[in-house]
Amino acid sequence: MWYPKAMAQKQSVLVLGAGRVGSVIAHDLASDPSLSVSVADRDPARAELFSSEGSPTFLEADLSRSERLRELVAPFDLVVGAVPGWMGFETLGTVLECDKDAVDISFFEEDPFELDALAKERGRTAVVDCGVAPGLSNLVLGRIQHEFERIDSFVCLVGGLPEEPQPPWNYKAPYSPSDVIEMYTRPARIVRDGKVMAVPALTEPEELEFPNVGTLEAFNTDGLRTLLAIDSIPNLMERTLRYPGHRAQVELLASSGFLDPEREVDGVLLRPREISEQLLRQQWHQGKEDYDVTVMRLTAEGVRGGEKVRQTFDLEDHFDRERGFSSMARTTGYPCAAVARLVLNGTFRRPGIVPPEFIGADLETYRSILGYLEERGVAFQVSQEPL
């Protein structure tokens, strides 16, 4: 089992959220005998996920209540945020106000750097977007920036998919359907020819071939986030991968108003998105035997070693049948757990808000995180070709 350094004394970690990803993070951290791990969630039914010997301690709590959250985090050395996106920003702010280091995977809409001054004032490290994408994609780009003399473009293709797609949707949601819908409806910010622009989500579809998976459709979504601040790369884009046909169905829902937050019909104010979320929650539910696969392809073009090249990072990860961990939970949770350990033992410390591209800048830290993931079967296949 990989541990970055031996810790002088047992340290405590609190994972906020016991969903698919939060559970994987908590169990992975608990496998380190030098850590005492607890996980908090408002759903008492999730306690059974932590009932076996050596499991994290389960704490039932409503994390949306700031006073209760402050009480919870007080005794812990590090807090990991794995709550739904709608409450992620406020939760992280409260954790920092409580003078705690944090590692967060909550895909919240707000700009995390709005909390930068607070984190620096408290002298705390807060690593945000520490999942798969954003997360691993940022980490890799942070490393590429230090290995290329010039980067002309960087494209992230990523998707969590069922191994065996079933109509009509050919999709199961490995995390909250509300977050999926938010991704499908939020304008996608990209960088094209040096200009940051917003394009509608789901646009510019293209079909691509992937080994062992087949034909997938890529389309624009808003996943660059902190990477938009890199002004030295003229072309940046993240695109979501789905089986062909899924995008068109979602686009039909959106264009028909079913994903609108509010809509007035005959003088009555309706919230069609809330209804759609509840219906899709049932249809997109990923059951225990709905095995998934995560596909990622990161492509950077530019100048490396004086030559113009294209470097590609391919990742294909599958459901862990032995442990019952979904692929999306593995590829999101393990990077978070790796970084959490680095923060805990002091290997990585940088007061303020820290996106993963900052971590990827350090070669030793970058290699240690990838090594940690490889031990758990999450590994990139890297190739390079001249242009």
pLDDT digits (tens, 9 = 90+) for 31-74: 999 999 999 999 999 999 999 888 999 999 999 999 999 999 99
Tell me the CA distances in angstroms from 277 to 19, 22, 181, 374, one per residue in order: 17, 21, 8, 35
What is 11-131+328-378's CATH topology? Rossmann fold (3.40.50)
Tell me the one-letter amino acid at 229: A
Q: What is the CATH number of domain 136-318?
A: 3.30.360.10
Same CATH topology for 11-131+328-378 and 136-318: the answer is no
Tell me the one-letter amino acid at 256: S
pLDDT over 60 (residue 360): yes
State which H helix or E strand residue 241 sits in: strand 236-242
Q: Within a 10 A sphere around the Cβ of 194, how many other Cβ atoms?
A: 10
Which of 222-251 are b and which e, b meaning 16 or more Cβ less than 10 Å from the residue's Cβ? Answer: bbbbbbeebeebebbbbbbbbbeebbeebb
How close are the terminal C-alpha atoms of the chain, in Å?
40
State which H helix or E strand residue 330 sits in: helix 327-344
pLDDT at residue 4, as a whole number: 45
Spatial CA neighbour of 240 closest among 291, 318, 288, 186:
186
Give me the sign of the Cα torsion angle 115, 116, 122, 124: positive
Q: Is the pTM of this model over 0.75?
A: yes
Residue 88: pLDDT band (50, 70, 90) is very high
Q: Within a 10 A sphere around the Cβ of 367, how many other Cβ atoms?
A: 11
Structural domain boundaries of the chain?
Answer: 11-131+328-378, 136-318
3-state secondary structure string across 19-59 = CHHHHHHHHHHHCCCCEEEEEEECCHHHHHHHCCCCCCEEE
Collapsing DSSP states into helix, strand and coil, what is residue 310? strand
Share of the chain above pLDDT 90, in %: 89
pLDDT at residue 319, as a whole number: 95
Q: Within a 10 A sphere around the Cβ of 87, how many other Cβ atoms?
A: 17
The predicted-structure confidence for 310-340, as pLDDT tens digits, reads as follows: 999 999 999 999 999 999 999 999 999 999 9
Query: Quick one: DSSP state of residue 223?
Result: -
- Whether residue 134 has a cis bond before it, omega within 30° of 0: yes
Strands (E), 289-357: 292-304, 307-318, 352-354
